[in-house]
Amino acid sequence: MDFLTNSGVPISWYLILSAILFAIGASGFLMRRNIITVFMCIELMLNAVNLSFISFSYMWRQVDGHIITFFVMVVAAAEAAVGLAIILTIYRNRRTLEIDQINALKN
Amino acid sequence: MDLILFFLLAFVAVGCAINLVLQSHPISSAISLIGVMVSLAGLYLLLGAEFIAAAQIIVYAGAIMVLFTIVIMLLNSGKEAPGRMNNLSRFLGLPLLLVMVGLLAMVLVQVVPPTQEVKFGNFTGGGPADLGMLLFTKYVLPFEATSVLILVAILGAVVLALKEMD
């Protein structure tokens, strides 16, 4: 019990958790067919990268990683606004959210 | 206590992430993503990043996910049709994913010094004061560039959404 309450967590575990989340997000990005879910998988990957930035920031005892995470959040917010507007436009023009049917550039 | 909290939050995060990928309805995926973000905010607190944890809850779980939920509601997006996967991806996808994560974990364990341990309270540089000091001195140029980025994003979103009116 003493082990559970007193010991710290190795920093590499945080990085491994980040890698697992990124892999799940990437597989969802490739696997899913709904464009909104694909977009959410991108957000999941961004979050995983943020976790590794914060872990490295802790490792080097510097705040720079926090700043980068802050910028990633800002870019993600801007990306979500523009991306969802694009999704709305696609739905209005083509009446579908399935990415398999949005293939105008293919032919 | 650190270990218990880490495992609790990590299991919630990974479970919610897997649920995000496996659910067939987008609204279930959105709620799972909120679970991932909230547990990641807890992990940020353990790592001493108080300001980022608060921003994670407010910006990600608050603003961005509300935007997602509104769009799902607006488009009345229903269940996703079961995807047709070819045999190669059906049988090789999961093993290859596990191999990739295993390789990454192996490299990380070897590269990162094992003496580095995360104890809550060992690093207290993540408060708003320290962050603001760095943001307005060393990173002031990217910060100003961000304002242009947000302006462009707003204009782009408005232009894309306005097409319907005319």
CATH of the domain at A48: 1.10.287.3510
- In A, which residues are within 8 Å of B83 by CB distance? 31-33
What value of ipTM does the predicted structure carry? 0.90
Q: Find the CB nearest A92 among B1, B37, B164.
A: B164
Print burial letters for B11-42: b (CB count within 10 Å at least 16), e (below 16): ebbbebbbbbbebbebeebbbbbbbbbbbbbb
Is A10 within the bounds of a domain?
no
Q: Which helix (H) or strand (E) holds A23?
A: helix A11-31
pTM value? 0.91
Q: Which pair of structure tokens corresponds to residue A67?
A: 């700043």
pLDDT per residue over A36-66, tens digit each? Answer: 999 999 999 999 999 999 999 998 888 999 9
Share of chain A above pLDDT 90, in %: 61
Contacts of B6 (CB under 8 A, 6+ apart): A9, A13, A14, B43, B46, B118
Pairs of residues, one from chain A and one from chain B, whose beta carbons lie less than 8 Å apart: 230
Is A76 within the bounds of a domain?
yes
pLDDT per residue over B25-61, tens digit each? Answer: 999 999 999 999 999 999 999 998 999 999 999 999 9
Domain that holds residue A63: 34-98
Is A29 within the bounds of a domain?
no
- In A, which residues are within 8 Å of B36 by CB distance? 21, 44, 47
Q: What's at A89, amino acid-wise?
A: T
State the best of B2, B21, B98 to mutate against chain A, taking most chain A CBs within 10 Å: B21
How many domains in chain A?
1
B166 pLDDT tier (thresholds 50, 70, 90): low
Higher pLDDT, A71 or A98: A71
